[in-house]
Chains A and B, each alone.
Chain A
Amino acid sequence: AQRVTQPEKLLSVFKGAPVELKCNYSYSGSPELFWYVQYSRQRLQLLLRHISRESIKGFTADLNKGETSFHLKKPFAQEEDSAMYYCALARYSGAGSYQLTFGKGTKLSVIP
């Protein structure tokens, strides 16, 4: 069965410090991974996905198949980065369906 693990419930960093939000996954197929973010009083929104290989709001994430990880990183945290972050893994079924499996989330708090 597929699983996504985010080991930290809460991560506090000072403004300007580097950030790393950890995500590990287990999946027997070829993984497709995402990071979703939920700012206060806003809906869940896509931050980035590994197939795009892009940097969004200064965040990057590299898929490491050897370590089955997809950690989210940013070199210098900003106060506006404070939010709930969810790592998610897509699973495709033979019946033409697909779904996202989410981790439990990490709340990032950036201290001014």
Chain B
Amino acid sequence: GAGVSQSPRYKVAKRGQDVALRCDPISGHVSLFWYQQALGQGPEFLTYFQNEAQLDKSGLPSDRFFAERPEGSVSTLKIQRTQQEDSAVYLCASSLTGPADDLAKNIQYFGAGTRLSVL
């Protein structure tokens, strides 16, 4: 594909609703990352997948946040019972290799993001 694709681009949710954000990484990329970017801040790490395995979920802010990548390709970030503080841009990134591999190949390529607004 041309790059990392995220959908929807914009999502408005009422407080308490569940949302699902989708990420299509670059074809063949092993690693997939989710970041959260609040207004005026830099992206903050949420979780990391290597193929279908979720190796790090240390950045998920609460148990309302859940991510999956069942077939090692497309990933979904789900937020249950959304709160106003969840309003942010959610970025997905992918890289060709895992962290232990050739450093030249583990560059992270970012999607355009999903802007979530919780009212």
Residues of chain A within 8 A of B113, CB atoms compared:
43
Does B70 sit within 8 A of A, measured CB to CB?
no
Q: How large is the interface on B (under 10, 10 to 19, 20 to 34, 35 or more residues)?
A: 20 to 34
- The answer to whether B55 touches A97, judged by C-beta atoms less than 8 angstroms apart, is yes
Instruction: Pick the residue among A44, A45, A96, A105 that contacts B55 (CB under 8 A).
Output: A96
- The answer to whether A104 touches B41, judged by C-beta atoms less than 8 angstroms apart, is yes
A-B contact count (CB 8 A): 61
Chain B contact surface mostly? loop
Against A, the Cβ 8 Å flags (1 = close, 0 = not) of B80-98 are 0000000000010000001
Footprint of A on B, CB under 8 Å? 3-4, 33, 35, 40-45, 48, 50, 55-56, 59, 91, 98-100, 103-104, 106-113
- The 10 A-B pairs at the shortest CB distance, nearest first, are namely A102-B42, A97-B56, A98-B99, A99-B45, A44-B110, A97-B55, A97-B48, A43-B112, A102-B43, A104-B42
